[in-house]
Structure 1
Amino acid sequence: MTTAVWARLTPDKVAVVNPDGSSRTFAEVNAVANKLTRLFRQHGLGKGDALAIVCSNRAEFVEVQAATLRSGLRITPVNWHLTADEIAYIVNDCEAKVLVGEARIAVLPEVVAQCPNVVLKLAVGGPIAGFQDYEEAIAPFDGSDIPDPVLGNQMMYTSGTTGRPKGVYRENPPVTPSSMYALRGYDENSIQLCAGPAYHAAPLAFDIRAAMGAGAPLHFLDKWDSELVLRTISEQKITHLHLVPIMFQRLLALPDEVKAKYPVDHVKYIVHGAAPCPPEVKHAMIEWFGPVLSEYYAGSEGGAGFTISSEEWLKKPGSVGKRPALLQVRILDEEGNDCPPGVPGGIYHQLPPGGGFTYFKDAAKTAANRVGDFFTMGDVGYFDEDDYLFLTGRNAETIISGGVNIYPQEIDNELIKHDAVADSSTVGVPHDEWGEQVKAVILLKPGYQPSEALAQEILDFARKALPSFKVPRSLDFVHDLPRSEAGKVQRNKVRAPYWEGRTRQI
């Protein structure tokens, strides 16, 4: 209940600034969190029950997060750009009994029609058919601190390589020690920016939860606008923020005269990860903002604790950090043998004491990415002679485009429904700005001939079933797809020709 602590110490300090400029103080956020907790309890909800939130970057997201942290509920933020069926699947799979949704998300009535186990539906930002108004629902309740808080949990979803998304479940919720905020340079004058989507694991951890824990005002932006981001950083005196490499590239692409208008010498800490950063881009950011960039290497499942400061990185360009002291990391070849320094292999992170995470209700998927007490996120890399880790590739079953994980099997599952498609192997191909771009590689059924018109027809077909960020940006036809002895398409072999001649395969 750090929000309650900050509400007591600095009640009138701004806690959240919405994209439209309206704001909430710590006292106001705290009172709403207490009211929500009492509302949940009135519905018989408490420790272990689940809540899903489908909402853009706005103060209610923080209020609901604060409420789950004191009510014992487990929160699952959902990507609101997904289709109705995809959102409904996550709401049902996480076993949500509470659904908080935003009126701007038009598919929510269609979602709740598929979610019979939701007992409390709250609408923010306007009316939604079948939902209670958020403000009206909490109005009757007392906003004073509840006397018996219960620590809540969260469960993020990571899409499956062969099927539906899976929740990354931890029985014991992780707690960030207050000393961590001091190490990141937070003090009473710190101001946080959240320029990425709140539902994503990294902005949630490094922007929202960090601001809540450190007692820093949090400025939300609703969508990316390079000059608006830079102006906000400069005029609002932002000191801390999380960005991904494509955001770096877009800021750097601003005209020099625009960049010159906005001083940034007050920025203390820019944390980045989620996708590989081209060294020339990171050099340019450090030259502009100073040595304030801190890179991490982790995923929704966690990681062993890789971080690297600007100073270290300048000595080891391209590295994501030195071998951590507390948890072990192994580089394994395809036979499960440890690789020597300089030789790439699969990266395996040691699970923390207590077992770390499991994939929610999927023991088989949990076991599939384990080797003993170690797990992998599908990345390939090597340690150099000084124990610094360098990433060189990734399992072909994951595409990272603009910092967003995309799982090609989900796309193939839709493409093969087209009458002309015999088989599909979607892959990530190189793209200078996005890192990777989604490409569909299609094998046609007999009787169909490759053509631009047919390619466009297949892509239009995909747009009807997939959210826009998953729709392939291009399509190639082939006469054959490489297969294993078991008949499975070998996606890595489909992907390889597009990356030929590149030292990094990510």
Structure 2
Amino acid sequence: MPSIFDQDLPRTEANHAALSPLSFIERAAEVYPGRPAVVHGSLRRSWSELFTRCRQLASALQRSGIGKGDTVAVMLPNTPPMVEAHFGIPVTGAVLNALNTRLDAETIAFMLDHGEAKVLIVDPEFAAVMKKALALRKATTPLLVIDVQDAQYTGPVERLGSIFYDEFVAGGDASFEWRLPADEWDAIALNYTSGTTGNPKGVVYHHRGAAINAISNILEWDLPKHPVYLWTLPMFHCNGWCFPWTVAARAGVNVCLRKVEAGAILNAIRDHGVTHYCGAPIVHGMLVNAPDEMKAGLPRGVKAMVAGAAPPASMIEGMERLGFDLIHVYGLTETYGPATVCAKDEAWGELDIGERARLNARQGVRYHLQRDARVINPETMRPVPQDGETMGEIMFRGNITMKGYLKNPKATEETFAGGWFHTGDLAVMYPDGYIKIKDRSKDVIISGGENISSIEVEDVLYRHPDVLAAAVVAKPDERWGETPCAFVELKSGATTTAADIVAHCKKHLAGFKVPKAVVFGELPKTATGKIQKFELRKQAGSAAAIDV
């Protein structure tokens, strides 16, 4: 029987609306129309102007036949069109597929086909790889290709489409009705994993999760109104950890950046009064290790967020010397980016740098609006003791978890077994409830914030005619966090060199996946012939890096 509180109390448009981050830009334009929203070179746009362009983009897409459930792919750096894509595409009901600009043509072609993209927006910097990808597509459905022009780009230009982006946007209606989805479970974005065996998996985000993670970013960082956010983190990576929507919610400034270089970052921080930025360890390390003259005159108190490999003591110390405040987060593509944070205790500030680094290296506790994050025994599905020693698997449940994998019900069912999202990352939980990763069950290598499947690299190595056996493990790297280290057992009489192996890999892999070290010799194996990777990990640290 219904509760008395459910009787005659209907859910209507007057008292209920679906959660969507698309509401954030609408409010920013209404409340702060004249405040700066986008900075890119000499370009400046207010929130009113940005909102108008997003409405025009949505209108132009709709007039091109794009609607609910269609996929619009973009191959863009952190430029204004990428900011606009995060609002103008999903408000039509379509799904934004931000492609990883570091991938090879074969992988991109698979993504375009698998996601059934109907529109592709391309920056000229990536025209060459995209031209190859388009030629490799197996789908025969027509694809509307739109070319972007950018005054900040100085390289060669090749047309792939029949219309330029600004021309396309100008053809849209500036009064396009900004309608939020009726169902917050509707898909808003499609992001592909890069750390899997075989083809990448398509991770589907919903409006509710995107809105909630965007708000959690505000809560975790105590993000004030009108922050100045520098785009060092690629917006193709988990939709920039949902920060395009976070910045809109706070009516901040999107400082765009084509190239992630120390000089460009430090100049932007000084010139625009940057208050916040995110990135993999390599970005922060780049700033710490920049020449002293390049770091002169930096403002103090800049907030920096790091994910990927845990920040070492040298990085924490270096950031403190810069006057920057570093916070460590953890997550996966399947959790919209960050879903835990190593929330700092004030008492930690009294500790020496080594102890602070140890505490800050942990993956931490759940994000504000994530329902739960635990280390669980995958066999019993019970939480492990909080003793800092008992290993289990990190699992999540709640709103900051994907809808599932596109066209892959088996993988979706497996990863949600027992009512939890299984990360595959092995960890312990400390008495204070903080999580710490100890190993990666799938041998994923995190290099510069990108996931690399060791199995994928091994498959390529085995395609070399002289390779008898191969194994790939992570090699610690000061700049990238980790890089692939290949251990290769050659066939009898083979004279293949490390340079030959690298050249072979370059033909089949994206650059960041190519091994940075190659070690020849007989591989350690169990009695059943299984390669003992734990032994190779011990050797990887001392393996000589080679120029790739």
RMSD of aligned residue pairs (Cα, Å): 2.9
Assess, with a 3 A threshold, how the Cα gap between structure 1 residues 218 and 333 changes in structure 2: closer, same or farther. Answer: same
What does residue 503 of structure 1 align with? none
Note the C-alpha offset of 1:321. Answer: 1.8
Where does residue 174 of structure 2 map in the other structure? 143
Task: Output the CA distance in 2 between the equivalents of 1:90 and 1:283.
Answer: 41
Deviations 1:386-422 (A, max 9, x none): 2222222223520011222111222222222222123
The Cα of 1:101 is off from its aligned counterpart by 1.0
**Secondary structure, counterpart of 1:412 in structure 2:** helix
What TM-score results when the alignment is normalised by the length of structure 2? Answer: 0.81
Structure 2 partner of 1:339: 384
**Local SS of the residue matching 1:301:** helix
Summarize the Cα distance change of 1:423–1:337 in structure 2 as closer, same or farther, 3 Å threshold: farther
State the 1:146 CA deviation.
1.4
Match of 1:221 in 2: 257
2:481 to 411, 435, 446: 435
Partner of 2:540: 498
Q: Residue 152 and residue 374 in structure 1: after superposition, are their counterparts in 2 closer, same or farther (change >3 A)?
A: closer
- 2:88 aligned residue: 67
- With 40-49 and 233-242 compared, the bigger mean Cα shift is at 40-49
For 1:299, the aligned partner's letter is: L
What amino acid maps onto 2:144 in structure 1? L
Matched to 2:227, the amino acid is S
Kept after mapping to 2: 8 A contact 1:152/1:173: no
Partner residue of 1:108 out of 115, 130, 136: 130
The answer to whether the Cα contact below 8 Å between 1:459 and 1:471 also exists between their aligned partners in 2 is yes
Among 322, 326, 340, the residue aligned to 1:306: 340
Which secondary structure does the structure 2 equivalent of 1:168 belong to?
Answer: strand
Query: Per the alignment, in what secondary structure is the counterpart of residue 128 of structure 1?
Result: coil
Contact 2:489 2:522 in 1 (8 A): yes
User: Residues 213-238 of structure 1: CA distance to partner in whole angstroms, max 9, x if unpaired?
Assistant: 22111111222222331232122111
Native 8 Å contact 1:286 1:310 kept in 2: no
Residue number among 501, 505, 518 corresponding to 1:458 in the alignment: 501
For residues 252-271 of structure 1, the aligned pairs below 5 Å read: 252-259=288-295, 261-267=296-302, 269-271=303-305
Counterparts in 2 of 1:323-472, with a 5 A limit? 326-332=371-377, 338-340=383-385, 341-352=387-398, 356-395=402-441, 397-449=443-495, 454-472=497-515
Q: Give, in whole Å, the separation in 2 of the partners of 1:180 and 1:80.
A: 27
Aligned 8 A contact 2:195 2:444 in 1: no
Q: Give the secondary-structure state (helix, strand or coil) at the position aligned to 1:464.
A: helix
More displaced, 470-479 or 106-115?
106-115
Structure 2: unaligned runs, 5 residues or longer = 1-21, 150-156, 350-355, 543-548
Q: Which moved more, 1:169-178 or 1:294-303?
A: 169-178
Name 1:203's counterpart in structure 2: 240
Aligned to 2:14: none
Closer, same or farther: CA 93–21 of 1 in aligned 2, 3 Å: same
Distance 1:152 1:339 in 2: 34
Give the partner amino acid of 2:332: G
SS in 2 for 1:392: strand
Q: Deviations over 1:107-154 (max 9, x none)?
A: 222222315335322111265234422222233321124154447601
CA distance in 1, matches of 2:338, 2:160: 45
Q: Which moved more, 1:28-37 or 1:319-328?
A: 319-328
Q: Secondary structure at the match of 2:342?
A: strand
- Quote the sequence identity (%): 26
Give the letter for the 1:158 counterpart: T
**In 1, Cα distance between the equivalents of 2:390 and 2:147?**
49
Q: Does 1:282 align with 2:303?
A: no
Which stretches in structure 1 are left out of the alignment for 5+ residues?
Answer: 501-506
SS at match of 1:456: helix
Distance 1:374-1:35 versus aligned 2 partners, 3 A rule: same
User: Please, which moves more after superposition, 463-472 or 125-134?
Assistant: 125-134
Equivalent in the alignment of 1:57: 78
1:233-272 matched pairs, under 5 angstroms:
233-259=269-295, 261-267=296-302, 269-272=303-306
Helix, strand or coil at the partner of 1:38: helix
In the superposition, the TM-score normalised over structure 1's length comes to 0.87
Which residue number corresponds to residue 64 of structure 2? 43
Could you tell me which residue of structure 2 aligns to residue 164 of structure 1?
Answer: 199
Give me the whole-angstrom Cα distance separating, in 1, the residues matched to 2:366 and 2:180. 38
CA shift for structure 1 position 472 = 0.9
The Cα shift of 1:368 comes to 4.1
Q: Give 1:11 shift.
A: 2.9
In structure 2, the CA distance between the partners of 1:95 and 1:483, relative to structure 1 (3 Å rule), is farther
